[in-house]
Amino acid sequence: MTSPSTASSTHRDGFVPFPADIAETYRAAGYWRGQALGDLLRDTAQRHPDRPALHDADGTRSYAWLDAEADRMAYGLLALGIAPGDRVVVQLPNVPEFLTVLFGLLRAGIIPVLTLPAHRRVEIEHLTALSTAVAYICADRLGDFDYRELATTVQEAVPSLRHVLVLGDHGSGTDLNSIPREEGSLPAIDPSDIALMLVSGGTTGLPKLIARTHDDYAYNATASAAVCSLTEDDVYLATLPAAHNFPLACPGILGTVSAGGAVAFVTDPSPENAFAAIERHRVTVTAVVPPLAQLWCAATEWEEADLSSLRLLQVGGAKLAEVNAREVTPALGATLQQVFGMAEGLLNYTRLDDPVDLLHTTQGLALSPADEVRVVDANGDDVAPGAEGELLTKGPYTIRGYYRAPEHNARAFTPDGYYRSGDLVRRLPSGHLVVSGRIKDVINRGGENVSCDELEEHLLAHPAVRHAAAVGLPDATLGERVCAVLVVEDTMPTLAEIKTFLTDRGLATYKLPDVLRQAGALPVTAVGKIDKKALRATTS
């Protein structure tokens, strides 16, 4: 079968490359090594074919096995008529096949659009149409959700979508495991070309596509592996959805493969299930979001699994409150690493040998000496050292524009190529960043700005409070009132008690909540961060 013309949508249409002169400096400095992502696996398999690459329910698979499986997957996908440069939407849970599908696509030069299991019709339809994807790879179902039904709906709405490949019971789609995989040839990969697409965290509107090149993403993964001192003795557990940048490449799955360690997966990150996987596979490193870190720490009180293999717990994706940061090592026995990153690129890590004070109170230091970080005021001018401002960044693994989004790019990037993160930070003399909130996540109470992050941090310090989120409620006189939504351990504190507690901590009067709401749980995003947008929409 030959691939129909994708004439009006070749994969580089709408891609914003690094400027050629800057790309040259990244190559000359050795950040970009001209390596295709699929070769991270090839190189490790050649170095030590017999070492474990994957631990799953059936036992352990070697690097030689994974390398051969990835090739077979690549041959099979190409034989279906999917061509190098085509986009394929991947929506898989954390199963071992994620590895063979990912590396198969990368080696075939086919571009995976990495969506999360929690995405639904609105996101998948949008991302499929935007990328003019020709195929959708999914599992049959997860929990009570049927991805085959989603596939049918998306196929009706998006004409470019020709193939539905299903892992498991394939229904009206094609069985991913039975596509023919006779040996064929693999295309030459241009390392400056798009390797894969990530989906933006999307605080406003629909998610955007983030095209990452082989060069930049290989650097992202290998430099991250170095910062975490990953070796072939490490076992990385993919706890967060594997398609998210954090577990994928920070250093995550790709960093672990480049270092020659083994990878294991859990679909259910509950303490009971994840702890059993840690014990069973002797997991050394994993990454979680703050609400999950809190849950794991609390669960060590009643779960009895042996977690002694765990040497590093990475926490990021949202601000980890200092009270919660302090709990990690005593509860789990692992070193804490705070990670402040974004799918657009820039990663900040606390270093393994940082003083505990920095581990507990900062969100880390930029990964690369070539990362350029500016902290600016509303006029775009650099703030005084240590003052709060918006983080702008560019560097060897930060995109220069979203894929097929020229209008948005004109706002989200400065004319000289910095990404405007929308994050408010302070930079310490050591270079470590402290995240103080999002530009838009403030409540305007009668003209006074209340940072939701700051208020949440104080609320979390209350012994009765497990999770907290601050949102603004419309108010006729003040414009907005401050509402604190709390998930509590046991008894709900009264508004008066909370106000006294916060006042005793020295918080200004105008920042005190006007209203308290109790919730059984807070809504979360596809990767498990507290979803403020959804909370704002449902709180009254």
Q: Sort strands 111-114 and 59-62 into parallel, antiparallel or unpaired.
A: unpaired
User: Considering the rule CB under 6 A, would residue 426 count as an interface residue with ligand OOB?
Assistant: no
Task: Work out how close the CB of 468 gets to ligand OOB at its nearest, in angstroms, rounded to a whole number.
Answer: 15
Q: Which long-range contacts (CB under 8 A, 24 or more apart) does 294-299 make?
A: 294/324, 294/327, 294/466, 294/467, 295/270, 295/271, 296/271, 296/331, 296/332, 297/324, 297/327, 297/328, 297/331, 297/332, 298/331, 299/271, 299/272, 299/275
Q: Looking at 178-237, list the stretches that DSSP marks H as alpha helix, in order from N- to C-terminal side.
A: 214-227
Q: Which residues pair with 167 in a beta bridge?
A: 139
Bridge partners (DSSP) listed for residue 340: 348
Residues of span 516-535 touching ligand OOB by CB under 6 A: 527
* Bridge partners of residue 517, in order along the sequence: 485
Angle at 207 between CA 137 and CA 274, to 5 degrees: 60
254 versus 435: smaller Cβ distance to ligand OOB: 435
Alpha helices by DSSP H, 469-531:
495-504
Tell me if 452 contacts ligand OOB by CB under 6 A.
Answer: no
**Token representation of residue 74:** 């690549």
Shortest CB 242 distance to ligand OOB, Å? 13
Residue 329 phi, psi dihedral angles, 5° rounding: -70, -45
- Give the CB-nearest residue to ligand OOB: 341
Given candidates 435, 443, 469, 485, which one binds ligand OOB under the rule CB under 6 A?
Answer: 435
| Residues 174-203 interacting with ligand OOB (rule: CB under 6 A) | 201
Question: Judged by CB, which is closer to ligand OOB: 164, or 527?
Answer: 527
Would you count residue 251 as binding ligand OOB (CB under 6 A)?
no
Does 207 engage in binding with ligand OOB (CB under 6 A)? no
Which of 176, 263 has the CB closer to ligand OOB? 263
Backbone angles phi, psi at 55, to 5 degrees: -110, 125
| Nearest to ligand OOB of 102, 478 (CB atom) | 102
Q: Where are the alpha helices (DSSP H) in 33-141?
A: 38-47, 63-79, 97-108, 121-131
C-beta separation of 80 from 56 below 8 A: no
Q: State which residue, 135 or 343, has the beta carbon closest to ligand OOB.
A: 343
Least CB distance to ligand OOB at residue 435 (A): 4
Number of chain positions touching ligand OOB (CB under 6 A): 21
> Considering the rule CB under 6 A, would residue 341 count as an interface residue with ligand OOB?
yes
Q: By C-beta, is 307 or 342 nearer to ligand OOB?
A: 342
Site for ligand OOB, residues 32 to 51, rule: CB under 6 A: none
63 vs 419, which CB is nearer to ligand OOB? Answer: 419
Residue 259 φ/ψ, nearest 5 degrees: -90, -10
Does 418 contact ligand OOB by CB under 6 A?
Answer: no
Whole-number Å distance between alpha carbons of 493 and 499: 10
Which of 264, 250, 267, 263 has the alpha carbon at shortest distance from 94? 267
In terms of CB distance, is 158 or 332 closer to ligand OOB? 332
Compute the least distance from the CB of residue 320 to ligand OOB, in Å.
6
Q: DSSP label at 9?
A: G
Does 317 sit near ligand OOB (CB under 6 A)?
yes
Cβ nearer to ligand OOB, comparing 120 with 440: 440
List the one residue from 338, 362, 409, 451 that touches ligand OOB (CB under 6 A): 338
With CB under 6 A as the contact rule, the residue among 155, 363, 398, 451 that binds ligand OOB is 363
**What's the number of CA atoms in the CB half-sphere (13 Å) around residue 340?**
25
* Site residues (CB under 6 A) for ligand OOB, limited to 208-247: 245-246
For position 259 contacting ligand OOB by CB under 6 A, the verdict is no
Q: Which residues bind ligand OOB (CB under 6 A)?
A: 201, 245-246, 250, 316-319, 338-343, 347, 363, 421, 423, 435, 438, 527
